[in-house]
Structures are given as structure tokens and as C-alpha cells.
Amino acid sequence: MEQQSSNLMSAQIHFVNARFSLVHIPLHRYKAYLQPILRLVFPVDPPNGGAQHGFSWANRYPFLNISITPTECSIVCLKSLAEELFNTTAISTTNSNDAIIFSEDLVVMSVEGEGLEAGKRVLELTSPLALAGISIFFITTYFSDYIIVPARSKGQVVRALEDRGFRFEESAEAYVNPAARRDRNRSSTSSFGHLSPSTPPPTTVDELQSRTFALLERHGILPRVDDDVRLLQCAGRRNDSDSSPTDEMALQVGLTKCLLYQPRFLSLTLTENEAASLLLDRQLISNFEPNNVLLGNKEDFLIPIMLDLQPLPLEATGIVCGVAGKLAGGPADGPLSNAIEMLYLSTARTGTVMVEEKDLGHAMEVLRAEKKIGEK
């Protein structure tokens, strides 16, 4: 654990200076909102609060994620654009068959660093947030990792980071950890998402994980694997001497093709400083020709383990964090050598953990074992 904490010394956490909204679109309404989605991905003019000087269409926003999964279309975008493109009134109820803009304002944090695999790093960083009772969303991309929290919780987030040894550095415009210290109850890589606000937050990582699986069990939510879905993590090329206008056009055409036909699985993340990041069904790769338009290994597939969280109340979204924590940390009292390498994606009503094909059996064993523990 000491080595794990010291590896976080290089981590930097940057708050994106904007307010965001979460949008949920039921799949049967996807086509009705296709034009607003395309306008969001390919804006004619830079949006208010977005990058005004980006050289690429992919750098128009401080942050944007559009994810289409087998259960929903989920969007995290600038609050002003959510209200302009998807609804005129923010609502907070799920009793609707139309698009929902959740009323909670969100802030986005980017996590950058070296020394730990992406999943372990973000889980280590977010475990103190979970133990502080802060709701969490995770998005892993090709270049960075992002933590999304309610805007009202930003002060709590800052305090939790400072308790962990982080401090704000003006030169980096980010929170850094110059002397990561070990915390007896927070040294695990496990993390947790939302609990009902009326429920006191857990005091230990073991309790945190137990609550996660108890809540899933209570609502009959089981991890599901679609044997036909194989995912690839890719990215567009940066706008530099190695790229060309042809590459940019090919990427845009490929994305348009994917979005037009309601992909089975696609997650697109755009930011001000990075090229477009994609997590997509391998069957979509043919839309991006020539093949060198996308960076990334086209042979290493990821298997998604999906949790349909629609039966849960809104405040319970993000439970994927608890499941991901179990996979990343192995047994609560066990060594990190048991950890399963993974990526993860939190959306409005779905939690998705992605593992390599060779780890799928082990991952499902871990989840089934945890379920059996809850039944005792």
C-alpha cells in the first residue's frame, strides 16, 4: 500500500472551469434527438464557455461526453447547451419517456498522472470522496480520466483531497500530491458511488463495498455480459504535424456514420486540450477509413460488464464505482496482486466496467462471490 500511495505523488487533479448537466435519452427516443446530438458534436460556432482558439473541431468544448449503451444514451455537456438542445426546463424525475435533463449542476475533474494503471489511480483518488459521502461518476478515456461530482459538493471534494495530502499549485493550476501519505481506512483502491442522502456514509472501505452489493441485491440488479459486444479504446490524432485535414475529415465522417445508425455501444469524449477519445463497438471500426485515422490497438478487445441501474432511485446512480473498486482491489483485505485490470464508464442510468477477455471469468467470479457473501 505504501508503494501504491507514493505512486500518486505525480497525480494532478484539475477542476474544469464550467458547469455541466447530465442528460438521459431513452433508446427509443434516440432518433428524435439525433439532430441535436449531431449539432452538439459538430457545432458551427464555439459554444459560450468553450475553447475559442482550438485548431480542431474536437477542441471546441471544455468537456463533452456522449455515451450510447444497450440501455440508454447519456450526455454530459455544458449546462447552457443541455437546456438549448434537449429541453427548456431541467427536471429531476424519471417518470418520463422523453429526454431528462437532471437538475443537479455538475463539475468535472480531470485526473492525470503516472505510476498506477488508470483504474487503480482513479479508484485510489476517489475512495476518500466516497467515504465522505460524495456522489461520483467516472469516465475513463484514451488520454485521461475524469471524475464528475455535483457542483454543490465541490467544497467537500477539495477538503477530502486536502485531507489526502493534495494542495493547489498555482503554477500547475491543479491539485497535486507532493507527499502522498497513507491513510489507515482509505489506503484501499476501492471506491463507491451514490447512496441515498438519508444514509450516513460508510466509515470503512469494507462497509462501503458491502453496501454497494447489498443495494444491488435488494433491487435485483445483476452484472450482465453481452457475448457479442467487443469494445476498442481509440483516439483521433492530435492536430499537429502528424495529422492532416484529411484525417480530421475522415474522423468526422466516421463519427457521423456511427451516430446516424444508433450504435450498440459508443462513448465519445471531447475536451479543449486533447484529441477525440472513443470507446466503441469493434463492428464500428470500418466506419473510420483509412485505418490510421484512429490511434490505439485494434486487436485488444475489452468486454463490458453492464449494470442496468434504471430500477434504482436517481440518487443511487454511480453504483458502478463500488463494483469497480472490488475488481480493482481484489478481496477487501487481500493484496493488490489479485486486482483485475479494468476501465469504467458511468452514465446516467448504466454502470459499465470493462475488462480484457482473459480476465472476464475472474471478474465474474469476484462479482458472484460478493453476491454470495451478501446472501449469507
Q: Which residue(s) pair with 266 in the sheet?
A: 68, 280
pLDDT in tens, 274-333: 999 999 999 999 999 776 789 988 888 999 998 888 887 666 544 656 776 777 764 444
Q: What is this structure's pTM?
A: 0.84
Mean of all residue pLDDT scores within the chain: 78
Q: Which helix (H) or strand (E) holds 145?
A: strand 145-150
pLDDT at 79: 95
Q: Which three cell numbers stand for residue 184?
A: 489507515
Which of 95-109, 218-232, 324-338 has the weakest average pLDDT? 324-338
pLDDT at 228: 86
- State the number of CA atoms in the 13 A half-sphere of 277 facing the CB: 20
pLDDT at 165: 81
What is the sign of the dihedral through the CA atoms of 275, 280, 283 and 284?
negative
Rounded Cα–Cα distance for residues 33 and 262 (Å): 11
The answer, yes or no, to whether residue 195 has pLDDT greater than 70, is no
pLDDT at 375: 46
**Which range has highest mean pLDDT (9-18, 60-69, 153-162, 193-202)?**
60-69
Rounded Cα–Cα distance for residues 324 and 123 (Å): 8
Which of 51-55, 113-117, 166-170 has the weakest average pLDDT? 51-55
pLDDT at 105: 95
pLDDT at 107: 96
Rounded Cα–Cα distance for residues 119 and 145 (Å): 9
Q: ∠ at Cα 58 (54, 63), nearest 5°?
A: 90
Q: What is the mean pLDDT of residues 78-95?
A: 71
**Which range has highest mean pLDDT (124-138, 143-157, 191-205)?**
143-157
Q: What is the mean pLDDT of residues 191-212?
A: 59
pLDDT in tens, 137-193: 889 899 888 999 999 999 988 988 888 788 888 777 888 876 543 443 333 333 333
Q: What is the mean pLDDT of residues 350-375?
A: 78
